[in-house]
Amino acid sequence: MTVREALAAAERRLGAAGCETAWLDARVLLSHATGWSETRIVAEGRDSLSPEAEAAFEEALGRRERREPVAYVTGRKEFRSLDFAVDARVLVPRPETELLVESALELLRKRAAERDRDLVVVDVGTGSGAIAVSIAHALAEAKLRASVRLVALDRSGEALTVAVENARRLLAPPRSVRFLRSDLTSALRGASVDLVAANPPYVAPAELATAPPELAYEPRLALDGRGVDGLAVVEHLLADSRRVLRPGGRILCEIGSTQGETALRRAESSGFESAKLLRDLSGVARVLVAEVPGASGEEVRRP
């Protein structure tokens, strides 16, 4: 079978299985099965597939037809140009989370230029490590006055294993992020943190019941935001973060596309000030930002 024939048949099968991006998925899976780049696959459509590649492609296609996420089939997901290893122990990092990382980096660069003490950043619910590892990676080369210390927390020990492995592969030195098992921020001491950057679970339980089949493969702990509106975990996170953030410290928290106004009210009732929403390029509110009242500038206490 030629590459072109294999791709065309795969696109038909994946389309029939309800995959919305059937052509793209087929290309990515064939690249995974052959070890060829996607460019080579498109350019060399008349080449024949080896029996081994055909078998590997068939196996990958079967999994995708059952609506397993492409990233779990390939074991890889690119996030901010970094190649994260992923599997069913962690959420597949989403492009919308890049907005949160960009905002965190902007704030950290500004704050690090203003002061000469360490800044402490905490990624709550680190999953694959996407947020903490990409912040550490981006700051590794930066010439900042203050150094930034990163702590990544998760309640799931299995997720932390994946995150530590990603840090080992993507960071030099990998120890620039400290990983801890923790229910929200319970492992940290009070008033020690400058920034909480979190993508907590925020899907409403009722929505999970009608979600695309791909979501059933991801850990429920990573998705279920609990409460009627899916914001119960966010609400706990706000209260917990209020405890560990220093005066003037901030929280950046990803939220669902319809949760902005409610999240703003919850931030205010948790004692934050200057709460606002950051929007993606389509104008959809995706990140809640809020600040702990009071001036910053005191010495950092180590978490």
Counting contacts by CB under 6 A, is residue 201 touching ligand SAM? yes
Task: Specify the residue for token string 């927390």.
Answer: 153
Binds ligand SAM (CB under 6 A): choice among 159, 255, 264, 275: 159
Site string for ligand SAM, 42-81 (x = CB under 6 A): ----------------------------------------
Q: Which strand (E) or helix (H) includes residue 249?
A: strand 245-254
Interior/surface letters 32-48, b for 16+ CB within 10 angstroms, e for the rest = bbbebeeeebeeeeeee
Counting contacts by CB under 6 A, is residue 230 touching ligand SAM? no
Q: Residues in contact with ligand SAM, total (CB under 6 A)?
A: 25
Q: In terms of Cα–Cα distance, which of 219, 200, 175 is closest to 123? A: 200
Counting contacts by CB under 6 A, is residue 225 touching ligand SAM? no
Distance CA 33, CA 151 (A): 36
Interior/surface letters 92-124, b for 16+ CB within 10 angstroms, e for the rest = bbeeebbbbbbbbbebbeebbeeeeeebbbbbb
- CA-angle at 262, arms to 102 and 228, nearest 5°: 110
DSSP for residue 203: B
Part of the chain binding ligand SAM (CB under 6 A), chosen from 48-56, 105-113, 119-127, 268-276: 119-127
The pairing of strands 245-254 and 193-198 is parallel
Part of the chain binding ligand SAM (CB under 6 A), chosen from 16-24, 108-116, 122-130, 266-274: 122-130
Counting contacts by CB under 6 A, is residue 222 touching ligand SAM? yes
CB of 127 to ligand SAM, least distance (A): 3
CB of 54 to ligand SAM, least distance (A): 33
- Share of the chain residues as helix, strand and coil, in percent rounded to the nearest 5: 45, 20, 35
Counting contacts by CB under 6 A, is residue 93 touching ligand SAM? yes
Q: In terms of Cα–Cα distance, which of 277, 101, 104, 129 is closest to 194? A: 104
Length of the chain: 303
Counting contacts by CB under 6 A, is residue 249 touching ligand SAM? no
Q: Which CB sits closer to ligand SAM, 40 or 169?
A: 169
Binds ligand SAM (CB under 6 A): choice among 61, 153, 193, 245: 153
Site string for ligand SAM, 168-197 (x = CB under 6 A): --------------xxx-------------
Counting contacts by CB under 6 A, is residue 270 touching ligand SAM? no
Binds ligand SAM (CB under 6 A): choice among 125, 256, 260, 303: 125
Task: Specify the residue for token string 């943190």.
Answer: 193
Can you give the binding site for ligand SAM, defined by CB under 6 A?
90-91, 93, 97, 124-128, 130-131, 153-156, 159, 182-184, 199-201, 221-222, 233
